[in-house]
Amino acid sequence: MATAAAQNKTASTHRTAVFSGTHQLDILGYTTRRHLGGADGTVRSRTFDAGGFLWTIVCRFHQNMAQAAKGVTLESISLELSCNETDEAVVATASVRIDDPSGTGRWPAAEWRSEEPNVFPARSRTTMAWELAVPDAFRDNEARYADADADCLTVHCNVDVYREESAYGATTRSYLVALPPPPSLGRDIRRLREEKWWPDVTFSVDETKIQAHRLVLAMRSPVFAAEFRADMKEKTMRCIKVVDMSTRTFRAMLHFIYADELPKPKTGACRVAMARDLLVAADLYDLERLRLMCENILSENIDTSNVMATLMLVHNRHSCHRLEASCVEYMASGPDVYEAMEATEEYKELDKTCPSFINEITKKVAKRAVARNRSPSSSSSSGNNSSIETASVSRYNPSEVTSGTHEFRIECLSVIRKTHGASGQFIRSGSFQVGGHEWAIDVYLSGEEEEDMGYIAIFLALLKTPATDVKVSAFFRLDDRHGKSIGRTFTNVYTKADPVDRGLPTFTTMASANSRFVAHDGSLTVHCRLEVTTESCTGNTVSIAVSPVHVPPSSKLASHLEELLASEKGWDVKFLVEESEIHAHGLVVATRSPALHELVESATGTDYVRVDDGMKASTFKAMLHFIYTDELPRIDDLTAIVPFDAGKDPLTMVVGEMLAAACRFRLERMRRLCENLLAENITPGNALATLELAGRHGCAELEGYCIEYISLPHVVKDVMKTFSSFCRIPR
């Protein structure tokens, strides 16, 4: 049966940087001279730079012989690239503008823009010319644009050079601004014990005093929580005696409670012996995750020397029936195994002191051995019982399905078609991970093969050769401007022998993409949903046949703290925010946010801590959620309760307020998460507000990202439309 894992969501952009250059060419004598230019009637500008290349404007004039009085007329305009000695083709667009020379604006400027970019080949040492066009408005009304007083014609030319930002033109960024610090919740809680901060309970174990914190123990163990109830004597005891447990085991159990992980065995220490001791402690204090971790260690290390000790340990422990079954399976795996176990001193001792236990185990082993012998796979081919075939022991791993999504955005599609317009040429997305494998999307704008030249092909690339077969189901989708979409699915099994790309060679026609799916900014976005299935398999093992028990993930610590915050049990600090009372636990606040703890310490003499300076109650609760869980709360829940404010984006408002709180109380990871959330959701409508937030709180990376975003050619115009309304919004 397949098991589903959490979905992974990523995105990448094939971003093209634009480098612009402008040049003004003043042509004197245009209205009075009968001839302009050299023998061929051309006037050349000085060279100018655009995108790191040298360009020249070339104007050609025509002598009107029939009407000599009119002199010459502008016949054509060309743009010349001096040379291109790089390994990449130069892709450029150009525009020509001739203004009304009077400066009164009576006549609109005569303009021409290239509809498609032009490609100048790579590795060319000769001059390459591109024929532009004389604006139609100028041809029809030449007298308006020629300055008779100055005897001059002025031609403006703008050149935009498009260059990819990386080799494949796309990078996947899990974090748009900067990678936040890793979660520190476990480390911070562990420091409470390691650095002995504010302990409030002491345990006496083998005459050794060990300090701890009631809040952490009660949060992690139901048994400790029951002991610390108001009606229990342990509630008021300053020192609690622990019997039937060694100091080493109790310390190891405390390490797990605080860190949610097993301690590292000391050099020379036996990992199995530690797991055996901790299994008893976990059962005693109802630490389910610790018990399962110990069971797995013991199951994986069963051998003749320890199988009887493990069976004695789990005997009559109903929670450990899987481990007992593993021991029985090992003993029944063959006559040699059971005979070797019978020869051990431990077995002989137990046979004398606990014959009833040995008798019970022997029956279970015999029952399992009989079941094996009755299996069709274990029957003898000779038809007699002179030899007994030993059944192999194996472990079955069920299949698992992991899903993820990736959005691949291709900017300036018309430009990219010029550089990747031949069949067989593709654009690759940034890499992303699903199911433990690294993937990328390859988009062929003119088909993978020459016969599919009119189609867009979409392929899925597995970037590293898999060790085992990987079954994949991929769904690709394009959305049009009206919310409608087309999508197609393909499935494939990538093998070690055949890991090549697979996909849809005729996903849609290029004509359909241009007419329906190219956005107003000239970009094309490919949506991909991926499901990766790890096939179920059965492999040989040396000991047990039962599957290992599933150990819950280490996020239990965060979930326990989140439950503690929601229940408001055991709180000892009361915050007053916007006249709302918000309860918290001083121990958690102190270890997670020293700055907020300073505020608590400064409020001595009162029964509450006032938080002002414009802090909202909802923002403070969101910050507490981060302090207790190391993650931001669901933003949808917060924006849903934001009152309508004309001109303000709810998400930018909410995340901006959380960013301010993170900066105020020096929560670095929260600050970074807020910065990335703002960057991920930036739009022309909120770009200026996001930039202002970044500057106000000193977020240099976010500020740089906003400036880069606003400067994009297809964005800057839309941003400027919001400038006047942004200036009217009160800060």
Residue of 504, 516, 529, 379 whose CA lies nearest to 439? 529
- CA-CA-CA-CA dihedral for 490, 496, 500, 501, to nearest 10: 40
In tens, the pLDDT along 166-190 reads 433 344 444 455 556 666 777 777 7
Average pLDDT score over the chain:
79
- Say which DSSP state 517 is in: I
- CA-CA-CA-CA dihedral for 137, 139, 143, 146, to nearest 10: 90
Confidence of residue 232 (pLDDT cuts 50, 70, 90): low
pLDDT of 14 higher than 80: no
Residue type, 705: Y
Distance CA 293, CA 275 (A): 8
Question: What is the bridge-based pairing of β-strands 16-28 and 152-164?
Answer: antiparallel
> Looking at residues 660-683, what average pLDDT do you find?
89
Distance CA 157, CA 61 (A): 17
Distance CA 620, CA 667 (A): 13
Distance CA 529, CA 391 (A): 43
Query: Which tokens sit at 443?
Result: 């988009």
In tens, the pLDDT along 334-378 reads 777 888 888 888 888 888 888 888 888 888 888 887 776 654 443
Measured CA distances, 647 to 686, 689, 730 (Å):
9, 10, 10
> Looking at residues 487-495, what average pLDDT do you find?
88
Residue 547 CB contacts under 8 Å (≥ 6 apart), including other chains: 395, 396, 397, 398
CB 50, CB 162: distance < 8 Å: no
- Name which of 21-25, 70-74, 154-158, 656-660 the model is least confident about: 70-74
In tens, the pLDDT along 299-324 reads 878 888 888 888 888 877 767 777 88
Distance CA 315, CA 146 (A): 104
Confidence of residue 268 (pLDDT cuts 50, 70, 90): low
pLDDT of residue 388: 28
pLDDT of residue 522: 80
Distance CA 94, CA 114 (A): 6
* Residues forming beta bridges with residue 79, ordered by sequence position: 57, 130
The residue ranges of every structural domain in the chain are 17-164, 185-377, 400-538, 566-728
- Per-residue H/E/C for 33-88: CCCCCCCCCEEECCCEEECCEEEEEEEEEEECCCCHHHCEEEEEEEEEECCECCCC
CATH: 3.40.640.10, 2.60.40.10, 1.10.760.10, 3.30.710.10. Which one for 566-728? Answer: 3.30.710.10
pLDDT of residue 575: 93
Residue type, 238: R
> Looking at residues 45-53, what average pLDDT do you find?
82
Q: Does 237 or 487 have the greater pLDDT score?
A: 487
Distance CA 390, CA 393 (A): 9
Residue 139 CB contacts under 8 Å (≥ 6 apart), including other chains: none
Distance CA 267, CA 274 (A): 13
Query: Which tokens sit at 437?
Result: 């494998």
Residue 470 CB contacts under 8 Å (≥ 6 apart), including other chains: 435, 437, 462, 493, 494, 495, 532, 533, 534
In tens, the pLDDT along 509-558 reads 988 888 888 887 788 899 998 888 865 544 433 333 334 445 555 556 66
pLDDT of residue 96: 94
Instruction: Check residue 174 and give left, alpha or beta (phi > 0: left; psi -120 to 50: alpha).
Output: alpha
Distance CA 591, CA 587 (A): 6
In tens, the pLDDT along 434-443 reads 887 888 999 9
Q: Does 621 or 469 have the greater pLDDT score?
A: 621
- Annotate 691-721 with DSSP letters as a single string: HHHHHHTT-HHHHHHHHHHHTSHHHHHHHHH
Query: Which tokens sit at 112?
Result: 């021409």
Residue 604, exposed/middle/buried by CB under 10 A (0-12, 13-18, 19+)?
A: exposed
Residue 415, exposed/middle/buried by CB under 10 A (0-12, 13-18, 19+)?
A: buried
pLDDT of residue 125: 81
Instruction: State the CATH architecture for 17-164.
Output: Sandwich (2.60)
> Looking at residues 262-289, what average pLDDT do you find?
82
Q: What pTM does this model have?
A: 0.47
Handedness of CA 368, 374, 375, 381 (dihedral sign): positive
Domains 17-164 and 400-538 alike in fold: yes
- Name which of 245-254, 487-496, 569-578, 632-641 the model is least confident about: 632-641
Between CA 473 and CA 479, with CA 475 as vertex, the angle to 5 degrees is: 175
CB 386, CB 419: distance < 8 Å: no
Nearest-Å Rg of the Cα atoms of the chain is 37
Asked if CATH classification 3.40.50.720 holds for the domain at 400-538, the reply, yes or no, is no
- Name which of 139-148, 191-200, 230-239 the model is least confident about: 230-239
For the structural domain made of 185-377, what CATH number should be given?
Answer: 3.30.710.10
- Name which of 66-80, 378-392, 542-556, 622-636 the model is least confident about: 378-392
pLDDT of 384 higher than 80: no
